[in-house]
Amino acid sequence: MLMLRQGLSLRGLRKGVKEAYLWEKAKQIMRPDDANVAGNVHGGTILKMIEEAGAIISTRHCNSQNGERCVAALARVERTDFLSPMCIGEVAHVSAEITYTSKHSVEVQVNVMSENILTGTKKLTNKATLWYVPLSLKNVDKVLEVPPVVYSRQEQEEEGRKRYEAQKLERMETKWKNGDIVQPVMNPEPNTVSYSQSSLIHLVGPSDCTLHGFVHGGVTMKLMDEVAGIVAARHCKTNIVTASVDAINFHDKIRKGCVITISGRMTFTSNKSMEIEVLVDADPVVDNSQKRYRAASAFFTYVSLSQEGKPLPVPQLVPETEDEKKRFEEGKGRYLQMKAKRQGQAEPQA
């Protein structure tokens, strides 16, 4: 369980927002059931901690003024890189801060540090940006207005508005792009998409949900990472770890009692990394009036490691169908784009 601290951030925001708690801090020790067989903490465990901190701070802020009570629901997680592995016995320090609000959404930035409590060494493991929307407790289909924050500089609000418009556009495009379904194939050949693709079926119970009956975003992300990890392990048959997660888009709420199918398939491999697309479909089996729908989607990147924790070459994916070849080229484009971005950031400034 996360141990929480709360307060009012003065960095970048004026003291005028008296009632809104704008940052959160939490800590949690990593236990064996949080990690894989090599002792590395699952990426899904870290994503779940990140989402819990974001949900707390955004829900508190959205209820900081008099009015209709609400709960903040996760709408999107921007790309997050796993900068350093976290191991069993280390303490995760999670800090979250509200950095922008629009009329109906909240941007939260989260940092995760790992601490070796024997040596006192701390490392930054994750930086993430999450977007939440406030849903009414009386009607969870009703989105409420967000109390505004006051910025110390106009540039901060303008930069936040640009990030908001960009994620809004991409989220809508992704919702309609990811309409296909992962189908099983009999007797697939090694290194093909069909050979490693995997699915997990999960009945949503009360422990997965908020008090208001829909699934925590962190629960969904942890299941998505679990499926992606199975795909990666099946493909390379070595120890694997999450390297990064591209934007996770939550297209619709998942209610208690739904049966969800989390499907993963490999889309691209470079020499040392694997991109895996994960789709989440919800089937409201207790509600005949609603059909199966796409609830979330994302791309996960994994790397293969030796027993000593060194990167290993990845078996090259063999796309067979035209759709698989198209997804491979799209994945290659994302890989090259991110590689160029990292190289640009690494170049010294003149």
> Residues 337-346: pLDDT tens digits?
988 887 777 6
pLDDT of 184 reads 75
> Residues 194-221: pLDDT tens digits?
999 999 999 999 999 987 889 999 999 9
Q: Between these two residues, 16 and 129, which has the higher pLDDT value?
A: 129
In this predicted structure, the answer to whether residue 223 has a pLDDT above a threshold of 90 is: yes
Which one of 225, 239, 246, 281 is the catalytic residue? Answer: 225
pLDDT of 13 reads 44
Least confident of 85-89, 332-336, 341-345: 341-345
> Residues 294-326: pLDDT tens digits?
999 999 999 999 888 889 999 999 999 999 999
CA distance 281 to 123: 36
pLDDT of 212 reads 81
CA distance 328 to 337: 14
pLDDT of 19 reads 39
Report whether 45 contacts 31 (CB < 8 A).
no
In this predicted structure, the answer to whether residue 249 has a pLDDT above a threshold of 80 is: yes
> Residues 155-168: pLDDT tens digits?
999 999 999 999 98
287 is catalytic: no
- In this prediction, residue 348 has a pLDDT band, given cuts at 50, 70 and 90, of low
**Strands 259-269 and 248-250, bridge-based pairing:** unpaired
Report whether 294 contacts 239 (CB < 8 A).
no
In this predicted structure, the answer to whether residue 60 has a pLDDT above a threshold of 90 is: yes
- In this prediction, residue 186 has a pLDDT band, given cuts at 50, 70 and 90, of confident
pLDDT of 343 reads 79
Nearest in space to 127 (alpha carbons), one of 107, 109, 108: 109
- Please count the other Cβ atoms lying within 10 Å of the Cβ belonging to residue 288: 7
225 is catalytic: yes
User: Dihedral angle at the C-alpha atoms of 218, 222, 227, 229, nearest 10 degrees?
Assistant: 140
Rg from Cα positions in the chain: 20
- In this prediction, residue 185 has a pLDDT band, given cuts at 50, 70 and 90, of confident
In this predicted structure, the answer to whether residue 226 has a pLDDT above a threshold of 60 is: yes
Which one of 36, 81, 111, 191 is the catalytic residue? Answer: 36
Amino acid at 46: I
Average pLDDT over residues 37-65: 93
Which domains, and CATH codes, for the chain?
18-165 (3.10.129.10), 185-343 (3.10.129.10)
DSSP state letter for 96: E
Average pLDDT over residues 222-231: 97
DSSP state letter for 316: P
CA distance 206 to 256: 7
Q: Between these two residues, 177 and 201, which has the higher pLDDT value?
A: 201
Mean pLDDT of the chain: 88
> Residues 2-37: pLDDT tens digits?
544 544 443 444 344 443 456 668 899 999 999 988
Nearest in space to 275 (alpha carbons), one of 306, 244, 247: 244
pLDDT of 287 reads 76
